[in-house]
Structure 1
Amino acid sequence: MTTPAVPTAPRIPEAVHRRRWAILGVLMLSLLIVVLDNSILNVAIKTISTPAPTGLGATQSELEWAINAYTLVFAGLLFSAGLLGDRIGRKKVLLGGLAVFGIGSALAAHSGSPAQLIAFRALMALGAAFVMPATLAVLMNVFDREEQPKAIGVWAGGVGLAIAIGPITGGLLLGHFWWGSVFLINVPIVLLAFGLMVWLVPESRDPKPGRVDPLGVVLSVVGLVLLVYGIIKGGELADFTDPTVLTTIGAGLAVLAAFVVFEKRSDHPSVDMDYFKNRVFSAAISVIALVFFALMGVTFFSVFYTQSVRGYSPLQTGLLLLPLAAAQLIFAPRARLVVDRIGIRATTTAAMLVLAATLAAFATLDADTPIWLLEVVFFFMGAGMAHIMTPTSVVIMQALPREKAGSASALSNTFRQVGGALGIAVLGSVLSTSYRNGIEGSLGTLPAGLRDTAGESIEATLGIAAKLGDQGRALVVPAHDAFLHAMHVTALWGTGVALLGAIVVAVFLPGRPKPAQEEADEEDLARAKR
């Protein structure tokens, strides 16, 4: 099975074509700040969880919400943002999104409580939702079809660059400034990207845009928030049979079901369900969700492993992530060469199996595992990601006509963000439940009022242990042991999700791409039949 033929797009203006690579650079800078924010936050999680004045004293559930407030708003608005860009112009949407993101970043930097941080992260997500789909949509409109796979590979490599820069930048900032500096750093980047975009990026829009669907947006966001809240609450209580947890999860699923029914019947849906009739498109977009489900959950606990168990600083943790980022930078632009040789199906299946193996490797890590083994794991994880994201992004973007690029990009990023949010919620809850069950037997000597708090996370246990002096030191080893066991369990869950993704790509994605001339002949034949 091959990607469906699409109509020939209008010729790209020569002036735009000449500066296409400079435009791609500006788009990557815009993408950089969206991804950079999350990768910086990864190394700042532990600092934000410490009590004031060093941090905000955020609990594990509040940390999960600081991440998921961003991902849920981002995911819920992406498709409508893509449609709005198609309608009023992608450049206008990009500029507006950058401005909102910059304002949200400045406010988040000066948050006085975890609740304020969560709220301002949601505002940042509002801006980011208008930036992300527009970058890929503009890319599809300034590059010819033959150059699109290469451009998308470079675009995907920009994600690897952000992953590399983010943790190191975050570590440097946390070593010299207060925790809010990890958000304030976004502001000068936003100003630079804004100016370059005004100068270089051309305006583009869909000649036949869809209508924005406010009710669909509300249903999707409310459904996802209820579902994720229920999952996180279940992990916090270590009890998924609690009536509140079951009611919230059930309500979330019901609202999401209503969203699907409404979208099918709407004449202007947020998500055009007809896209999913294409098995290749559906498989590619599902795999993106599964990959980020597994990876976001694992990334969440890896920071606590390196900092709380191994004792590394935020900067050292950022440096430890370099192999993952380097592998993405090296392989993402070259993944298309592997696809040309052995095909999309073989490339992505092998990459999913590599990813599953790296996630399983986390289940073998201990407090004294040689750190170079973790570096090897991160490198292969990045290599696997590069050979998944680039081919699937090409499949998704070329499955629809160029004028629908905003919709395709928004759907791809929506599924990625939803997958990541659910991964943090589900795997974070697995981690919380396993940790609480593992540490409870060691908390008997604590005053009754502290036991519940100490069982929330390894940071909560170690924080209380530090305040108790000699009595608290007896909790350090049990806390490490309980966390390592919880990490092993969570990693195996992530491995199972990655293996499911390998099955999906092996069954549904196409094999070797057809030669360009043969594909062009098929397109001509399809147009003649119409």
Structure 2
Amino acid sequence: MTVDGTTSGTASAMTDATASTAAPPGGAGRGGNRRWWALAAICLSVLVLGFDGTILNVALPEMAVQLHASTGQLQWIADAYLVVFAAAMLPAGLLGDRFGRRRLLIGGLVLFGVASMVGTLADSSATLIAVRAVMGLGGSLIMPLGIAILPSLFSPAERPRAVAIMTAGMAIGMPLGPMLGGLLLNHFWWGSIFLINVPLIVIGIAACLWLVPESRDPSVPRVDPVSAVIGVLGLAALTFGIIQGPADGWGSAKVVAALVAAVLLLGGLVRRERTQPNPMVDFTLLADQAYRWSSVASVLVSFVLAGGLFVLPQYLQSALGYDALGTGIRLMPLMAGLLVAARAAERLVHRLSARWVIAAGLLVMAAAMLLGATTSGGDGYGRTAIWLSLLGLGTGFTMVPAMGAAMAALPEDRAGVGSGLLQTLRQSGSAIGVALLGSLLAGAYTARLTTGRLPAAAAHTARGSVSAAQAIARAANDPALALSARAAFVHGMDLVLLACGIGAVLSAALIAWRMPGRAGGEAESRA
């Protein structure tokens, strides 16, 4: 799941001086109301990204059964999208500046739509992982170029409202995802969660062609393909090493090689970008304390939330026995808490400061996770609803002020590249959260599961995921296996939530100690 307070673009996308804009059909320039219809077209384009992450979560248990996917493969189905999305976002924004933002936005929609159609026909975990990677590439074009088009449509005074509307357009998709996914899965096969993207994308492409003007800035620096490739390979190697660790052993040659390669590649990327005259990833932005610690807060909350949302749908379906629609509905307390907190966060930041609101939000998240970590095998949904609501409140009070504080710390001419770096770091945090916490879950579940006298092949499948174990237990009429799988999964989930809770407490202390005080959205101190 992705919770965005702002989106990514490039530096030139946020300034009028560098953007050369063709008038849209029907005169949808700044002087006409049609620009708001153009904004609606852009919102429709990002809507699919809003519910794609949350709709996938409710489908993971069904995928585990139908595709015979292990927990590690489920992690890759989620992470293939996140890794490519994070690594490809910055070069995608630069390509749009150079060759046409609307053109590449539409290209991203086409890529996302084609991958979604292929995903409906996937018959193996490997195929679906590849599809998700292509969807991540399409998403990396849609997200930054959607916001990069806004300066060609709106004056500086109107731009904050336009960005807020676009962000809301994506946020609307998040609570719709679990419910829509559950509804589809109750009546159709799991591939329908990808098929639903197609009509929305077709409408979005038509609306962009008709309403959105083309704009570009040929003066931007060329995309550095070496840096782009290093970034993708480094994140992929890190994710692979973390996911394969529990299965192959942390000392295995494959895992050690992947982690060493990740360190060398990502370290090389940082060094290369720091020496480039026009870097694709401008790490000097992190010298500003307000930006740096707001970015750290965004990464930390993304890490914690990604791990929690990876285990929750599996718990609701495989441990508590709800169907996909029931699971989607029972995730709504999280979304409700998030929306309530997001509305109140801005007022609290003006009254107090971003630092204290973010730190308090992290503590609320910690309380939610620690309460969730006390779940036992006999507990029902009531306890889950309580800590889900708290988790939503904490997320809203953390993510929205953190994103806003990071962007407020940047000068206008660096807002685009700053938001791009922030989004790349945040998506990387989500990918690592799924990989690391999913691996903790897999290791704990496998260690606790008792397979009894199952044949070797069935026992191996049962150890792959709790959904597979429950399916085998039903087929073999083996209640002991079902009870063992539920207890083992709840144990693993508790460890994941405990790790998230401890991490959130430490994060709150770090933000309260290191982040500069901010009042009314203005930085009181800078590095």
State the TM-score, normalized to the length of structure 2.
0.88
Distance across 1 between alignment mates of 2:445 and 2:94: 43
Q: Deviations over 1:305-326 (max 9, x none)?
A: 1000000000011111122223
Distance across 1 between alignment mates of 2:521 and 2:127: 54
* 2:48 matches 1:33: yes
* 2:509 matches 1:503: yes
Distance across 2 between alignment mates of 1:515 and 1:400: 12
SS of the aligned residue for 1:15 comes to coil
Instruction: Give the alignment partner of residue 477 of structure 1, picking from 479, 483, 505.
Output: 483
Q: Deviations over 1:439-493 (max 9, x none)?
A: 1xx2242233443332222123223323333xx2211111111111111111111
Instruction: Give the alignment partner of residue 94 of structure 1, picking from 99, 105, 114.
Output: 105
- Equivalent residue number for residue 338 of structure 2: 328
- Equivalent residue number for residue 286 of structure 1: 296
Distance across 2 between alignment mates of 1:330 and 1:149: 21
- Equivalent residue number for residue 326 of structure 2: 316
Distance across 2 between alignment mates of 1:187 and 1:304: 26
- Equivalent residue number for residue 369 of structure 1: 379
* 2:472 matches 1:464: yes
CA contact (8 A) 2:291 2:410 kept: no
Distance across 2 between alignment mates of 1:159 and 1:375: 24
Distance across 1 between alignment mates of 2:345 and 2:502: 24
Distance across 1 between alignment mates of 2:329 and 2:119: 25
Distance across 2 between alignment mates of 1:21 and 1:503: 42
- Equivalent residue number for residue 311 of structure 2: 301
CA contact (8 A) 2:350 2:520 kept: no
Q: Give the deviation of 1:241 after TM superposition.
A: 2.5
- Equivalent residue number for residue 369 of structure 2: 359
Distance across 1 between alignment mates of 2:386 and 2:41: 32
- Equivalent residue number for residue 44 of structure 1: 59
Q: Structure 1 residues 515 and 367 mapped into 2: Cα distance closer, same or farther (>3 Å)?
A: closer
Q: Give the deviation of 1:99 after TM superposition.
A: 1.3
- Equivalent residue number for residue 73 of structure 2: 62
Q: Deviations over 1:129-180 (max 9, x none)?
A: 0111223334466556566555555444444421211111111111111111
After TM superposition, list the pairs within 5 Å mapping 1:370-449 onto structure 2: 370-439=380-449, 442-449=450-457
After TM superposition, list the pairs within 5 Å mapping 1:117-136 onto structure 2: 117-136=128-147
Q: Give the deviation of 1:370 after TM superposition.
A: 4.4
Q: Structure 1 residues 373 and 449 mapped into 2: Cα distance closer, same or farther (>3 Å)?
A: closer
- Equivalent residue number for residue 522 of structure 1: none
Q: Give the deviation of 1:230 after TM superposition.
A: 1.1
Q: Give the deviation of 1:56 after TM superposition.
A: 1.9
Distance across 2 between alignment mates of 1:198 and 1:394: 31
Matched residue type, 2:486: H
After TM superposition, list the pairs within 5 Å mapping 1:120-159 onto structure 2: 120-139=131-150, 142=153, 151-159=162-170
SS of the aligned residue for 1:364 comes to coil
CA contact (8 A) 1:134 1:406 kept: no
Distance across 1 between alignment mates of 2:118 and 2:196: 12
Q: Deviations over 1:344-370 (max 9, x none)?
A: 112111111111211222102234434
Distance across 2 between alignment mates of 1:248 and 1:329: 39
State the TM-score, normalized to the length of structure 1.
0.88
Q: Give the deviation of 1:90 after TM superposition.
A: 2.7
Matched residue type, 1:447: P
SS of the aligned residue for 2:382 comes to helix
Q: Deviations over 1:9-40 (max 9, x none)?
A: 55999726855654443333222101211111
Distance across 1 between alignment mates of 2:328 and 2:31: 38
Distance across 2 between alignment mates of 1:194 and 1:412: 27
Percent same amino acid at aligned positions? 37
CA contact (8 A) 2:113 2:201 kept: yes
Distance across 1 between alignment mates of 2:412 and 2:211: 21
CA contact (8 A) 2:445 2:488 kept: yes
- Equivalent residue number for residue 22 of structure 2: none
Distance across 2 between alignment mates of 1:412 and 1:374: 31
Q: Give the deviation of 1:408 after TM superposition.
A: 2.6
**Greater CA drift, 475-484 or 147-156:** 147-156
Instruction: Give the alignment partner of residue 358 of structure 2, picking from 348, 357, 377.
Output: 348
Q: Give the deviation of 1:506 after TM superposition.
A: 1.9
* 2:117 matches 1:106: yes
Distance across 2 between alignment mates of 1:463 and 1:515: 52
CA contact (8 A) 1:17 1:142 kept: no
Distance across 1 between alignment mates of 2:31 and 2:217: 17
* 2:222 matches 1:216: no
CA contact (8 A) 1:141 1:402 kept: no
Distance across 1 between alignment mates of 2:191 and 2:267: 39
Distance across 2 between alignment mates of 1:85 and 1:251: 30
* 2:96 matches 1:85: yes
Distance across 1 between alignment mates of 2:510 and 2:164: 22
**Unpaired runs of at least 5, structure 1:** 1-5, 520-530
Distance across 2 between alignment mates of 1:349 and 1:136: 29
CA contact (8 A) 1:355 1:381 kept: yes
Matched residue type, 1:91: R
CA contact (8 A) 2:101 2:216 kept: yes
Aligned length: 505
- Equivalent residue number for residue 116 of structure 1: 127
SS of the aligned residue for 1:111 comes to coil
Q: Structure 1 residues 380 and 351 mapped into 2: Cα distance closer, same or farther (>3 Å)?
A: same
CA contact (8 A) 1:48 1:179 kept: yes
Q: Give the deviation of 1:499 after TM superposition.
A: 2.4
CA contact (8 A) 1:72 1:418 kept: yes
Q: Deviations over 1:257-310 (max 9, x none)?
A: 111122222234321122122122121222211111111111111111100000
**Greater CA drift, 160-169 or 364-373:** 364-373
Q: Structure 1 residues 80 and 488 mapped into 2: Cα distance closer, same or farther (>3 Å)?
A: same
